[in-house]
């Protein structure tokens, strides 16, 4: 099974989004020496394919020189693992020089925009939209593929139609993320998207997607349909990520995922020590992640969706309760709502299909809107 290493060159970020939970002022920048140690660490770590995602904070703060050296070091030093790369950035610091380096390695870019300028800047700060769009242009001019993630908050969910239309009209692929309670600040729940609202939003987007299937791609809905169709999780939230995902912080500490970077209690080891799996497995963070897996096996045992949900994201479940496993991912309500909706619609379509006709064949239907099966067959 392939594995995933998230490299967090810094937790610093030049923007100041209202609901951010992961940036840290004055965070150091990863040195090239740390990348060299990553190569040594992974040389004999395991034999599967690896994907490196540069994440932050804002990873482009590391600058062109960093990527000019880091990319060949990783790709040549670990060629036996066939490394693939990805990068998550707000694009503000993208220069033509940096874009050319990233294009050389064919790196897909994930960026963030919350909808039309006014709405986006209200959540992410004045001037954010224009700076990101400027970087987007540089990325496109250099042949890079950019996909945007939109964070739905308790506020922006009220404008879901405007947000959907913004993505549709601009020919952008839609991927969404629910705002989580921030672990910093005085009012942590202010922007967080309530799980039930999140479930309603997913069902709304499913309908909008079916109406506009030939014009837009809604990645979350694709992933959710794929889960149901294949009976297996299709993104990290819906698989047992523990043991297959790691993150390396600016100074070489190893964590279970980028979301934990900067929290000393979740450090599993350091790349400078070149730990093997058995060494990482001795850490408290590793044990906690595996306790969560066992907890899910017990708590979600009766749930019809357990095979392709796996209790959701352990970070969402563990971190807000200060490292105590008191429950599954609080977004469970949303997952149940959307999985039920997809299953019910698929069953209805199968049940209603005329006798003798395979439900897997496209059939003439009175209602012009495509059904869920056409979406499921597309993403299978």
Contacts to ligand SF4 by CB under 6 A:
236-237, 241, 245, 257, 259, 300, 303, 305-306, 309, 311-315, 328-329, 332, 335-336
Choice between 98 and 201, CB closer to ligand SF4: 201
Choice between 30 and 309, CB closer to ligand SF4: 309
Choice between 58 and 329, CB closer to ligand SF4: 329
Which residues have CB under 8 Å from 151's CB, separation 6+?
17, 19, 112, 114, 123, 176, 177, 178, 179
The least distance separating ligand SF4 from the CB of residue 216, rounded to whole angstroms, comes to 25
Name the residue among 29, 57, 27, 142 with its Cα closest to residue 95.
Answer: 142
The least distance separating ligand SF4 from the CB of residue 182, rounded to whole angstroms, comes to 16
Tell me the residue ranges of DSSP E strands in the chain: 3-7, 50-54, 84-88, 109-112, 146-152, 174-178, 245-248, 253-255, 269-270
Residue 69 corresponds to which tokens in the numbers above? 């050296």
The least distance separating ligand SF4 from the CB of residue 313, rounded to whole angstroms, comes to 3
Choice between 99 and 268, CB closer to ligand SF4: 268
Choice between 41 and 339, CB closer to ligand SF4: 339
- Contact criterion met (CB below 8 Å) for 7 and 53: yes
Choice between 210 and 303, CB closer to ligand SF4: 303
The least distance separating ligand SF4 from the CB of residue 195, rounded to whole angstroms, comes to 10
CA distance 242 to 239: 9
Choice between 48 and 352, CB closer to ligand SF4: 48
The least distance separating ligand SF4 from the CB of residue 294, rounded to whole angstroms, comes to 13
Name the residue among 309, 334, 311, 312 with its Cα closest to residue 197.
Answer: 334
CA distance 146 to 124: 19
The least distance separating ligand SF4 from the CB of residue 55, rounded to whole angstroms, comes to 10
Q: In degrees rounded to 5, what are phi and psi of residue 79?
A: -60, -30
Tell me whether strands 50-54 and 3-7 are parallel, antiparallel or unpaired. parallel
The least distance separating ligand SF4 from the CB of residue 124, rounded to whole angstroms, comes to 20
């Amino acid at each position: 099974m392939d594995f995933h290493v998230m490299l967090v060159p810094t937790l610093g970020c030049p923007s100041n989004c209202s609901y951010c939970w992961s940036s840290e002022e004055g965070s150091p920048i990863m040195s090239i020496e740390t990348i060299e140690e990553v190569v040594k660490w992974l040389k004999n770590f395991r034999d599967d394919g690896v994907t490196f995602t540069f994440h932050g904070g804002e990873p482009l703060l590391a600058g062109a020189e960093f990527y000019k050296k880091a990319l060949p070091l990783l790709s040549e030093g670990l060629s036996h693992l066939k490394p693939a790369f990805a990068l998550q950035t707000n694009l503000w610091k993208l220069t033509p020089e940096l874009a050319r380096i990233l294009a050389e390695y064919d790196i897909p870019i994930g960026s963030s925009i919350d909808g039309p300028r006014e709405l986006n800047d209200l959540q992410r700060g004045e001037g954010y939209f224009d700076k990101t769009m400027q970087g987007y242009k540089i990325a496109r001019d250099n042949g890079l593929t950019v996909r945007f993630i939109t964070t739905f908050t308790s506020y922006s969910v009220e404008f879901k139609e405007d947000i959907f239309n913004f993505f549709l009209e601009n020919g952008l692929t839609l991927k969404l993320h629910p705002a989580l309670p921030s672990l910093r600040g005085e009012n942590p729940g202010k922007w967080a998207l309530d799980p039930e609202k999140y479930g309603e939003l997913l069902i709304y987007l499913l309908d909008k997607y079916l109406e506009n299937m030939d014009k837009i791609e809604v990645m979350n809905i694709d992933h959710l349909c794929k889960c149901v169709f294949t009976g297996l999780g299709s993104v990290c939230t819906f698989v047992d990520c523990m043991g297959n995902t790691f993150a390396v912080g600016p100074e070489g500490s190893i964590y279970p995922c980028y979301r934990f970077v900067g929290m000393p209690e979740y450090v599993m080891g350091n790349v400078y020590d070149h730990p093997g799996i058995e060494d990482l497995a001795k850490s408290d963070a590793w044990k906690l992640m595996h306790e969560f897996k066992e907890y899910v096996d017990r708590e979600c045992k009766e749930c019809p969706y357990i095979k392709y949900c796996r209790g959701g994201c352990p970070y969402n479940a563990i971190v807000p309760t200060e490292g105590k496993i008191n429950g599954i991912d609080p977004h469970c309500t949303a997952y149940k709502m959307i999985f039920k909706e997809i299953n019910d619609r698929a069953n209805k379509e199968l049940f209603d299909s005329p006798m003798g006709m395979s439900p897997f064949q496209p059939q003439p239907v009175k209602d012009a809107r495509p059904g869920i099966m056409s979406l499921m067959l597309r993403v299978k």
